[in-house]
């Protein structure tokens, strides 16, 4: 079965490679990340080395028709964000060079020689500084195509957590917990007013999406879920700061980001309790339904969700203990 699947992927890759304006010598599948959900191939060509990232075909007639008409939303969103980021010159991080895409089945990047030795040892200041610079490509007037607006809507934090509450969270833990989470999310949403400026948030910021190359350059990648957000500014750093294999919350990283962000955006009316609660509800609810954390870690996150995040008094105590002075 696995052999047939790989053969099918290689046939698909070969079709795409033949359509590219490159003089290709050879190609091979590679393991680009520690957790890899999409097939990736390295291409050796006269023009240099490239990375081909494939996306699976949609299931169902409706989704197939939509992709034929409008392209793959995951790819289309990435292409849009890559083009947007290319308008800027960054000092704290780099962006992989997107070479080509058909907005339906593949992305082609210039090859980056990754330094694997330091992939778990990225200094938190480099992470924070890179994320701050990423956020500050903000604008009040961004020309967004109609379809891109639809893509952004499906990736809005409020939409994601509601979908999770009525989906996997309700199925696994019942309506009671789902109702409590939803009630708290609505409270956060009403407490934190929208900003006049929209910030570009990564929306899937974790260790697999950042890396170093052999020259020590720090890269941020994978913008499938990135959106322009005018309310929740702690989502990415909280996402990054929550452990998966072990139960831990890097409050130092969150405070570091928060202080630097406020320094650059002093005029924003940031409601810290609402910001933290919303970000943790989004990330911790993911942890308690995910199959990635070990069972004991998942239970600890569930206890944190039910005993701290959903308990106003306990949450205020936890907030005072860990974010005093912020």
Q: What is the pLDDT of residues 145-162, one digit of tens each?
A: 544 566 667 788 888 998
Range of the domain at 191: 116-322
Handedness of CA 64, 70, 71, 74 (dihedral sign): negative
**Same-domain check for residues 12 and 99:** yes
pLDDT (average), residues 54-72:
67
Cα–Cα dist 279/257, whole Å: 14
Residues 203 and 306 occupy one common structural domain: yes
Domain boundary among 72, 94, 110: 110
Token output for 195 = 């900003």
Which is nearest to 10 in space by CA: 36, 30, 28, 24? 28
Mean pLDDT of 62-79: 73
Of the pLDDT bands very low, low, confident and very high (cuts 50, 70, 90), residue 62 is low
Q: Is the pLDDT assigned to residue 205 strictly greater than 60? A: yes
CATH of the domain at 205: 3.90.1200.10
Is 299 in the same domain as 200?
yes
Residue finishing a domain among 110, 145, 172:
110
Q: Do residue 131 and residue 210 come from a single domain?
A: yes
Q: What is the pLDDT of residue 324?
A: 82
Tell me: do 27 and 125 sit in the same domain. Answer: no
Residues 124 and 90 in one domain: no
* pLDDT recorded at residue 236: 97
Instruction: Note the pTM of the prediction, 2 decimals.
Output: 0.88
Q: What is the CATH number of the domain that holds 46?
A: 3.30.200.20
The answer to whether residue 143 scores a pLDDT higher than 80 is no
The full DSSP string for 201-256 is E-SS-SGGGEEEBTT--EEE---TT-EEESS--SHHHHHHHB-SSS--B-HHHHHH
170 and 310 co-located in one domain: yes
**pLDDT band at residue 4 under the 50/70/90 scheme:** very low
Name beta bridge partners: 173: none
Q: What is the average pLDDT across 235-251?
A: 94
Supply the pLDDT for residue 279. Answer: 97
Structure confidence by residue, pLDDT tens digits, 293-318: 999 999 999 999 999 999 999 999 99
pLDDT class for 207, splitting at 50, 70, 90?
confident
Residues of the chain by 3-state class (helix, strand, coil), percent to 5? 50, 15, 35
Same domain, 280 and 151: yes
At 3 the pLDDT is 42
Q: What is the pLDDT of residue 57?
A: 66
pLDDT > 70 in the chain, percent: 83
Give the tens place of pLDDT for each residue, 72-84.
Answer: 788 888 998 998 8
For the segment 105-131, the average pLDDT, to the nearest whole number, is 83
**Average pLDDT of the chain, as a whole number:** 85
Are both 104 and 80 inside the same structural domain? yes
**Do 160 and 105 lie in a common domain?**
no
Claim to verify: residue 308 and residue 163 sit in the same structural domain: yes
Q: Please tell me the total count of domains within the chain.
A: 2
- Final residue in a domain of this structure, among 63, 85, 110: 110
Residues 124 and 40 in one domain: no
């Amino acid at each position: 079965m696995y052999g047939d699947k790989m053969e099918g992927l290689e046939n698909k890759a070969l079709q795409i490679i033949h359509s590219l304006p490159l003089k290709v010598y050879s190609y091979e599948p590679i393991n680009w990340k520690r957790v890899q959900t999409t097939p990736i191939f390295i291409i050796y060509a006269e023009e240099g080395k490239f990375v081909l990232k494939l996306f699976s075909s949609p299931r169902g007639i409706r989704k197939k028709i939509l992709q034929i008409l409008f392209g793959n939303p995951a790819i289309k969103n990435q292409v849009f964000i890559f083009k947007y980021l290319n308008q800027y010159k960054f000092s704290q991080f780099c962006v992989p060079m997107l070479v080509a895409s058909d907005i339906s089945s593949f992305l082609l990047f210039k090859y980056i020689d990754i330094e694997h030795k330091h992939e778990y040892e990225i200094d938190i200041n480099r992470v924070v500084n890179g994320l701050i610079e990423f956020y500050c490509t903000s604008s009040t007037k961004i020309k967004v195509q109609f379809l891109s607006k639809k893509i952004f809507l499906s990736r809005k934090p409020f939409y994601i957590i509601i979908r999770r509450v009525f989906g996997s969270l309700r199925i696994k833990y019942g309506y009671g917990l789902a109702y409590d989470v939803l009630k708290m999310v609505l409270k956060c949403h009403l407490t934190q007013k929208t900003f006049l400026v929209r910030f570009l948030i990564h929306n899937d910021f974790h260790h697999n999406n950042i890396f170093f190359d052999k020259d020590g350059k720090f890269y941020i990648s994978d913008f499938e879920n990135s959106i322009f957000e005018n309310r929740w500014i702690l989502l990415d750093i909280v996402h990054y700061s929550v452990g998966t294999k072990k139960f831990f919350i890097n409050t130092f990283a969150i405070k570091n980001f928060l202080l630097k962000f406020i320094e650059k955006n002093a005029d924003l009316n940031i409601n810290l309790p609402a910001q933290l609660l919303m970000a943790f509800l989004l990330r911790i609810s993911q942890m308690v339904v995910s199959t990635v954390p070990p069972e004991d870690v998942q239970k600890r996150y569930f206890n944190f969700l039910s005993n701290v995040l959903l308990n106003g008094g306990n949450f205020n105590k936890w907030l005072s203990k860990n974010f005093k002075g912020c």
